[in-house]
Amino acid sequence: MAPGAAQAQTHCYFESGGSLFADYSECGESANALTATGANLSALGEAFTQQQLNVGAGIAGFATPTGRLRHSRHDGLIDKNTGLRTDGFDTDEGSVFGNVSYDLPGTYFGGKVRVNALVGYDRLSQDADTAGFKTDIDSIIYGGSYLWSKGSFYSMSLLIGVTGDADASTATAGGGNYSYDVSGYFSNSVMGYTFDWPGNGWRFDTRVGLGHYDVDTNRFEVANGLGTIKGVSEAWNASITGTLFTIVEIDGGGVMRPYFLASYKNVFDEEIEVKGDFIASFEQANDFGKVELGFDYVKGILTYGAAGYTEFSEDENTFGGRLGVSVKLQ
């Protein structure tokens, strides 16, 4: 088969008597699930950052329940040993989380500080095209953030953790069901500045960010019973994001804030590996673009928010949406 061609199931490798042998097992499946979990953590962190900045720095604290839906289509990871792709797969993810923010009184280094805590639930379901595998991951997500702002300048850092369990099945390699635990985190730091767009009431926000995720499984027995493996997925990313928005007064009361966002993200130092009795190593495209349309509507103590977006790379296309409502507390 030519490098890059589709492969129903990916080789894993094991050592015996000083020689390296190939066998089929759940290497590709667990790697796919972990990279999807890492991508979803990154998306959650980016959406949470946007939500915090949309509400606006320096205002009173608030509580926010938010729901998210996300669908991704991936052409398959590339096996570094053979150049072949794993089977293509679809990933559907839904999450709901609540967060509470509080603006600290006074000033710090001449600016205002907001702290935030969040907790929620995430469900991820993944299906392959032809290999007959399916993975469902139920997870608890939790974390917090720190936002500092002074005038039009701001910086924000966040940390989000995930703890969950996966139930999976495969129709190949002897068939069977297997399960494993998933844990990890995503961190992200951004710095930005908001400019006035001369003469028309629009404003432009630009920011740069540096993020990192690290997700792994416990060591688990594969479905064919030939050994145990552990999946690991880790990567850094650097991003630049621009957001164009305006403020519109609504008849009957309330304020609307529509916005358009575009961003570019480069993923680097990515490691997607399977370790244990079998070993494998994978890679994927590392340049991503994103376009998002959304709005926030403020009336009284309530802020309603909605957004839809698409994210894309050479290997993957994603569509997602978000709905939330914020209740002013302070």
* 177-194 burial code (b ≥16 CB/10 A, e <16): ebebebbbbbbbbbebeb
Q: Is residue 4 part of a domain?
A: no
Q: Is residue 284 part of a domain?
A: yes
* Strand 228-246, strand 202-217: pairing: antiparallel
Q: Residue 159 maps to which CATH number? A: 2.40.128.130
Give the lowest-confidence range in 75-84, 88-97, 115-124: 75-84
Beta bridge partners of 223: none
* pLDDT per residue as tens digits for the range 5-16: 333 344 555 444
pLDDT at 152 over 50: yes
Cα 24 to Cα 13: distance, rounded to the nearest angstrom: 8
* pLDDT per residue as tens digits for the range 164-206: 998 888 765 555 788 889 999 999 999 999 998 877 788 999 9
277's tokens? 């009795």
CA distances from 292 to 31, 183, 261 (A): 28, 29, 5
Q: Is residue 3 part of a domain?
A: no
Q: What are phi and psi of 30, to 5 degrees?
A: -70, -35
Count of domains in the chain?
A: 1
Q: Is residue 130 part of a domain?
A: yes
Q: Is residue 67 part of a domain?
A: yes
Q: Is residue 137 part of a domain?
A: yes
Range of the domain at 85: 11-328
201's tokens? 């009431």
pLDDT score recorded for residue 88: 84
Contact 48, 55 (CB under 8 A): no
177's tokens? 């069901």
Cα 100 to Cα 203: distance, rounded to the nearest angstrom: 27
Residue 121's nearest CA partner among 99, 150, 96, 157 is 96
pLDDT at 34 over 60: yes
At a CB cut-off of 8 Å and minimum separation 6, what does 2 contact?
none
Contact 93, 124 (CB under 8 A): yes
Q: Is residue 6 part of a domain?
A: no
